[in-house]
Structure 1
Amino acid sequence: MLLTAEHVLLNSTADSKRAVITELAEVLTSIDPDRVMEVVMAREHLGSTGIGHGVAIPHGRMPDLAAPMLALARHIHGVDFDAIDGEPVHIIVMLLVPDSDDRRHLELLAQLARNLQQSSFREQVMQAKNSRALSNLFSERIIAR
């Protein structure tokens, strides 16, 4: 399962892009949060991963990672993420993949973007009652292969 309930933050109160990425790095307890921050923020410096419609997909490749992982933060009020549409971001899905798996990285990014661009899916994410419901929603839509 790419997104476990333990890797979901239902009500982030972070006040910046860096703060929400820090929150997500800290829920991934099996990985050094400093390394996650280094990888993800390096990618953010290339250009924001805020894809519009209140969604951001910060991502990166991690050496020594055995399998792809997701972490999700839901921000009710929205956080400035330098999104391409200039709007606040409410759904932040962080994707980490093994360093050696470029193809899988791109496939997962495409699946996430495709699903999160659908307003009905975004509504389901925002209305989910708990972490388990969000985990199940993503396991139905994002194929781990």
Structure 2
Amino acid sequence: MTLLTAEHILPDSKADSKRAVITELANVLTSIDPDSVMEVVMAREHLGSTGIGHGVAIPHGRMPDLSNPILALARHVNGVDFDAIDGQPVHIIVLLLVPDSDDRRHLELLAQLARNLQQQAFREQVMQATSNQMLCQLFSGEGISGS
């Protein structure tokens, strides 16, 4: 099972704020109510920014009616202020939603994403990918999958 599909990728976000880019990502997840996504993810952001540094943010949350984990990805060429821990603009935003009951899987996926996105070479590949299909392959090829 692939967590990231081409339909869930915004290759060139123009959002001007953390909330705006999360809203864009919530809206590409057509099978989930975007208001519910916003509520869950923004509640998590209020606990502390999910901007992990190196131009990366992984906003995330648990959704009660979700059957499988799901990812959405936005790239922001100029970078957006995400209150990241290093104070730098964020260029890669990966939204992770997991079923409410699956704490272990949630933490595993978060750790996997963070590990991959901490690597400069991986971030460069994400920013340089020329198609949504290439981005999907990057995220499935790096062991980030639903299996």
- TM-score normalized with structure 1 length: 0.99
TM-score, normalization by structure 2: 0.98
Deviations 1:31-85 (A, max 9, x none): 0000000000000000000000000000000001010000000000000000000
Runs of 5+ consecutive residues of structure 2 not aligned to the other structure: none
Matching residue of 2:10 = 9
Specify the alignment match of 2:77 in structure 1.
76
The answer for the alignment partner of 1:32 in structure 2 is 33
Mapped to 2, the partners of 1:143 and 1:98 lie a distance apart of 15
Counterpart in the other structure of 2:57: 56
What's the Cα RMSD here? 0.4
Q: Output one character per residue of 1:1-56: Cα deviation in whole Å (capped at 9) or x when no partner.
A: 00000000000000000000000000000000000000000000000000000000
Unaligned runs of 5+ in 1: none
Aligned residue for 1:97?
Answer: 98
Report the residue type matching 1:39 in the other structure: V
d(CA) in 2 for partners of 1:2, 1:63: 17
For 2:107, give the aligned amino acid. Answer: L
Q: In 2, Cα distance between the equivalents of 1:52 and 1:37? A: 22
| Partner Cα separation in structure 1 for residue 90 and residue 8 of structure 2 | 18
Consecutive aligned runs of 4 or more in structure 1 exceeding 4 Å deviation: none
- Amino acid corresponding to residue 63 of structure 1 in structure 2: P
Match of 1:108 in 2: 109
Specify the SS of the correspondent of 1:11: coil
| Matched AA of 2:101 | S
How many residues end up aligned between the 2 structures? 145
Structure 1 letter corresponding to 2:121? S
Q: Which amino acid aligns with 2:76?
A: H
